[in-house]
């Protein structure tokens, strides 16, 4: 508690364009190594880059979403360094005039709102991928030249929890405005964390360490926590200047520790200069308008759910935690499910049954199927208990037809008032002593009469049975 943690994050978001940022190669994931390549992304002599307009449009959309300044004039630069997965020996990026500057994101920590500044978001090309197999290393350049938006925060975060809250909010925003699938397992949402500490009350910024290529919220938190403890220990032991140097470190997920990778380069080390093969970018008013037309943001959607549907804040928060959940929920409403039923059967019943690798995408149960189940409850054709049995069958079989399952499982409720009244009157006639006891104040006997009716009419609608019994008694 004697120290304050200072965290800034650099997040690389792969934009979901169909083709790469400076050539027409596909950006599809999982292809045979070195299949999606051409002279431009291989860096062959004479090949010239051409900027992908859609990448610029998506960068504008992000700037709009975070309330940033969008520079109508922008330039690309060469960032010079050598690494086996960088075939040109430089990366096309932005330095002096990025496309997006000075935005912010609001996060919630324990009910307290905090604003995290976004210094810049610039377009750049990705590198390839090194594959190490024993003593042999291979390079797959399919990913080389895919479009990235690098989002650089201010050093405004003070704990791993705040860093994760910021990352989750950022992850949600880029998915809701549909500029990236942000799939962390496939590397389309990656994070570098810059971490330093200082004594509380001290305004000075001390040596920061960069932890590179983190792609899981769990490991990002663990890496930050370990690095903070390492730096505090060095400070306490009087070896801070020796042990904590400006460098790039990697997080060992097996051992839970960070380890040195290389010395951290400064901007001068990269020898930035304007790329002579690319014209300066000027964003037309038309393109600025197109990019600024973004979908509803998570916070906006949450407030709409609360105000329009009367959903509780906590339930709305669950829904907007995922774009898929929101879309599924809204589709259920379009198919006729009521708000309460759609919310309960989606977030509590269905998600409660999806275990392991099962999720909303691969469970096989469409929004129309779940909406049909809710509608059959609304129509009193099945009870809530029967609906749970049907849902179990749907999950087990990865989908199915609700009405066919109702029929095959014999779960349709009886809603024939005439038949139920006849049975109720017969039960009252044969149990005059219990009727008298009930009328004298023994209310618990009501359950006896309900049980007798349900026993005599299999599948009777329990709600209607209760109503008719109260009338007759």
Q: Supply the DSSP string of 297-366, one letter for each residue.
A: PHHHHHHHHHHHH---HHHHHHHTT-HHHHHHHHHHHHTT--HHHHHIIIIIIIHHH--TT--TTTS---
Strand partners, 137: 132
pLDDT of residue 317: 92
Tens digit of pLDDT per residue, the chain (473 long)?
699 999 999 999 999 999 999 999 999 998 999 999 999 999 999 999 999 999 999 999 999 999 999 999 999 999 998 888 999 999 999 998 999 999 999 999 988 999 999 999 999 999 999 998 889 999 999 999 999 999 999 999 999 999 999 999 999 999 999 999 999 988 899 999 999 999 998 988 899 999 987 888 999 999 999 999 999 999 998 998 888 899 999 999 889 999 988 877 777 788 999 999 999 999 999 999 999 999 999 999 999 999 999 999 999 999 999 999 999 999 999 999 999 999 999 999 999 988 877 889 899 999 999 999 999 998 888 888 889 999 999 999 999 999 999 888 888 766 656 666 777 777 777 887 777 777 877 777 777 777 776 777 666 677 766 777 787 77
Strands 129-133 and 69-70: unpaired
CA 171 – CA 183 distance, rounded (Å): 9
pLDDT of residue 358: 81
- Across the chain, how many H-helices and E-strands are there? 17, 16
DSSP annotation string for 224-293: HHHHHHHHHHHHHTT-HHHH--SEEEEEETTTTEEEEEEEPPPGGGGT-EE-TTSPPEE--HHHHHHHH-
Q: What angle do CA 255, 257, 262 make, to 5 degrees?
A: 120
The DSSP symbol for 26 reads B
Tokens of 390: 């049907």
Report the 10 Å Cβ neighbour count for 21. 25
pLDDT of residue 119: 97
pLDDT of residue 214: 83
pLDDT of residue 365: 95
Report the 10 Å Cβ neighbour count for 125. 25
CA 365 – CA 326 distance, rounded (Å): 15
pLDDT of residue 453: 67
pLDDT of residue 292: 95
Answer yes or no: pTM beyond 0.75.
yes
pLDDT of residue 393: 94
Strand partners, 199: 3
CA 473 – CA 469 distance, rounded (Å): 6
**C-alpha count within 13 angstroms, C-beta hemisphere, residue 286:** 1
Q: Helix, strand, or coil here: 120?
A: strand
The answer for residues whose C-beta is within 8 angstroms of residue 222's C-beta and 6 or more apart is 160, 251, 256
pLDDT in tens, 165-189: 999 999 999 999 999 999 998 889 9
pLDDT in tens, 85-99: 999 999 999 998 999
pLDDT of residue 74: 95
Q: Where are the domains of the chain?
A: 3-290, 298-409, 417-472
């Amino acid at each position: 508690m004697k120290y304050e943690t200072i965290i800034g994050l650099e997040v690389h978001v792969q934009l979901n364009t169909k083709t790469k940022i400076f050539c027409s190669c596909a950006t599809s994931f999982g292809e045979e190594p070195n299949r999606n390549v051409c002279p431009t992304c291989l860096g062959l002599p004479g090949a010239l880059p051409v900027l992908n307009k859609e990448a610029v449009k998506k960068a504008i959309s992000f700037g709009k979403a975070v309330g940033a300044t969008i520079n109508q004039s922008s330039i690309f630069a060469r960032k010079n360094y050598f690494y086996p997965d960088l075939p040109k020996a430089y990366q096309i990026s932005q330095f002096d005039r990025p496309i997006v500057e000075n935005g912010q994101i609001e996060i919630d920590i324990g009910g307290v709102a905090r604003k995290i500044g976004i210094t810049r978001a610039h377009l750049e090309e990705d590198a390839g991928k090194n594959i190490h197999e024993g003593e042999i290393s291979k390079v797959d350049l399919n990913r080389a030249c895919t479009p990235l938006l690098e989002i650089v925060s201010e050093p405004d975060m003070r704990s791993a929890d705040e860093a994760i809250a910021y990352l989750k909010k950022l992850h949600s925003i880029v998915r809701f405005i549909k500029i990236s699938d942000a799939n962390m397992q496939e590397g389309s949402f990656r994070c570098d964390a810059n971490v330093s500490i200082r004594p509380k009350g001290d305004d000075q910024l001390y040596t920061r360490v960069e932890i590179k290529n983190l792609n899981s919220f769990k490991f990002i938190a663990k890496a930050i926590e370990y690095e903070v403890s390492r730096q505090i220990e060095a400070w306490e032991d009087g070896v801070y200047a020796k042990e904590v140097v400006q460098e790039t470190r990697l997080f060992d997920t097996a051992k839970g520790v960070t380890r040195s990778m290389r010395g951290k380069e400064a901007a001068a080390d990269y020898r930035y200069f304007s790329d002579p093969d690319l014209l300066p970018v000027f964003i037309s008013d038309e393109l600025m308008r197109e990019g600024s037309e973004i979908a509803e943001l998570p916070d906006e959607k949450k407030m709409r759910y609360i105000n329009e549907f009367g959903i509780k804040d906590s339930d709305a928060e669950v829904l907007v935690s995922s774009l898929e959940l929101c879309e599924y929920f809204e589709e259920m409403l379009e198919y006729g499910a009521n708000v309460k039923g759609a919310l309960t059967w989606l977030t509590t019943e269905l998600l409660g049954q999806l275990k392991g690798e099962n999720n909303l995408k691969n469970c096989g149960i469409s929004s129309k199927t779940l909406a049909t189940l809710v509608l059959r409850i609304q129509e009193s054709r099945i009870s809530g208990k029967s609906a749970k049995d049907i849902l179990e069958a749907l999950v087990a079989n990865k989908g199915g037809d609700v009405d066919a399952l109702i029929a095959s499982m014999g779960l349709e409720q009886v809603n024939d008032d005439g038949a139920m009244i006849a049975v109720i009157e017969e039960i009252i006639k044969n149990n005059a002593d219990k009727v008298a006891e009930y009328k004298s104040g023994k209310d618990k006997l009501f359950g006896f009469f309900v049980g007798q009716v349900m026993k005599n009419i299999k599948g009777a609608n329990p709600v209607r049975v209760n109503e008719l019994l109260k009338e007759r008694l």
